[in-house]
A and B are shown apart, each in its own frame.
Chain A
Amino acid sequence: MLIDWFTVGAQVLNFLILVWLMKHFLYQPILDAIDAREQRIATELTNAAAKQAEAQQEREAFQRKNTEFAQQRAALLKQATDEAQTERERLLDEARKAAAALQAKRQETLRNEAQHLHQALRRRTQQEVFAIARKALTDLAGTSLEERMVEVFAGRLRELDGAEQDRLTAALKASPGPVMVRTAFDLPPAQRASTEAAIKESLGLETPAQFTTAPDLISGIELTTNGQKVAWSIADYLASLEKGVAELLKAQDLPEAAPEPEQPQPEVTHS
């Protein structure tokens, strides 16, 4: 008999015991260990994924910040460059203007100085010339000169044209006071009478003349009334000469400098 039933029963028991033992000592611990490891690996993978995601985020954030920083830096640099350029241009402009102003001022000063020097020189020369002329004429002035002067004055009164004569007559008539006759020297009575005769003859006036002395006339005689004047004097010639010289000088100065203030004009006369 190949089958021994006791052995069969014992083997069944043995096998069941073995199943229990193997379950307890082999499968369960091994499977638990595998599960634990898998769990651990899964956890680590999850952590790694989380860390990777975090790292990715940080990397992106860093890159973004880096880009922003670069842009900001570029913008700031550009702004600074622009500002520096603007400032440079402004400073250069200012410097240029200042230099130009300084140069202009210097030139102006130079020109003014030169002009003043010229003017002073001319004035001085003019004054000297006129002083010499006046001195010479004053020294030469005498009674005969006075006579000649009265003659010339009388002749001038007579030579007045109609319109001027009328205007002078009207002015003399309108004047309330006597006719004022000014001379450089006190006239002798003969000349005074001659003068009054000439006035009466040419103007037809009966008003007596009042004679006064004015040394600044420099050998001259002058009839003045309400705004009208008839005169002859060397001072007139001198004033005329002075006027001519001043105009000449003025004409010379014009190309160099701004027009000078008007020179004091000599007395307006009707001659």
Chain B
Amino acid sequence: MRLSPDEMIFWQYGFFKLNATLVFTWGLMLVLVVSSTLITRKLSTDLKRTRWQNLLEIIVTAIEKQIEEVGLSQPRKYLGFLGTLFLFIALSALCTVIPGYEPPTGSLSTTVALALCVLVAVPFFGIQDQGVGGYLKSYIEPTFIMLPFNIISEISRTLALAVRLFGNMMSGAMIIGILLSITPFIFPIIMTLLGLLTGMVQAYIFTILAAVYIVAATRTRQPKPEPAAET
């Protein structure tokens, strides 16, 4: 039994390899980009518009609104990064209903990659917002004693992001695989539905946490409790 789609290697040349994670990721990227292109090719600025355009508008405005609610006053600036995180993770979870598909987020390499992106994005946006000095100063607040703890916090939360997503996605696929071998009827369907729910929740959590980290790193942060829904 494979724990990660990384183990399914189609082609390898030394360090370079082409595994299922990358292939499925490209597939998801292709679906996202092609569908977006097809739908946004003929966008209507009129009051009448297609159902697909409506769907995309709902998704985009919902993400934008969510980012704003977290505390970022200029949601469009972060929409590209956070929205793509959400859409990628959500679509990767949704596609688990396709037989033979394995979610790329079920690979620790992917989740680590996404967590690293968040790790880099937080100081990137922080520095962009309040400058290098201002951002670095946030590490020694309220006192310089907090510096190591802040650094540890940065690393640990990144690790937590990666492992949380990986654990949830991997476990979902694993449970379905095990249940298929034990009770091939009904239960796998229920667990698949549960897996879809878990996947959507994870996508939401990952995105919201990334947003919260960015809010914490930027000056425009507002006093808002961190989401307690961490699994």
Contact = CB atoms under 8 A, between A and B. Distances in A.
Category for how many chain A residues contact B: 20 to 34
Interface stretch (B21-29, B131-139, B201-209, B222-230): B21-29
Interface string B1-43: 0011010000000011101011001100100110011001001
Interface stretch (A11-19, A83-91, A130-138): A11-19
Interface string A10-29: 11101111111111011101
A47 to B, nearest CB: 15
Contacts of A16: 117
A20 B29 CA distance: 11
B84 interface: yes
Nearest to B19: A7
24 contacts: A2-B4, A2-B6, A2-B108, A3-B109, A4-B17, A7-B17, A10-B22, A11-B21, A11-B25, A11-B113, A11-B114, A12-B117, A18-B32, A19-B84, A22-B87, A26-B40, A27-B76, A30-B53, A32-B43, A33-B43, A33-B44, A34-B61, A37-B46, A41-B47
B86 to A, nearest CB: 11
Given A31-B60, A33-B53, A7 B33 contact: no
Category for how many chain B residues contact A: 35 or more
Interface string B91-105: 000000000000010
B76 A31 contact: yes
A27 B60 contact: yes
Closest 10 CB pairs of A and B: A11-B113, A7-B109, A29-B40, A36-B45, A26-B36, A23-B80, A2-B108, A33-B43, A25-B36, A12-B113
Contacts of B113: 7-12, 14-15
Contacts of A17: 29
A73 interface: no
A49 B84 CA distance: 40
A14 B26 contact: yes
B218 to A, nearest CB: 18
Contact of B60 (A4, A5, A26): A26
A169 to B, nearest CB: 145
B79 A27 contact: yes
Contacts of A2: 3-4, 6, 108-109, 166
Looking at B3, B64, B83, B110, the one whose CB has the most chain A CB atoms below 10 A away is B110
A253 to B, nearest CB: 110
Contacts of A6: 15-17
Interface in B42-97: 43-47, 53, 56-57, 60-61, 64, 76, 79-81, 83-84, 87-88
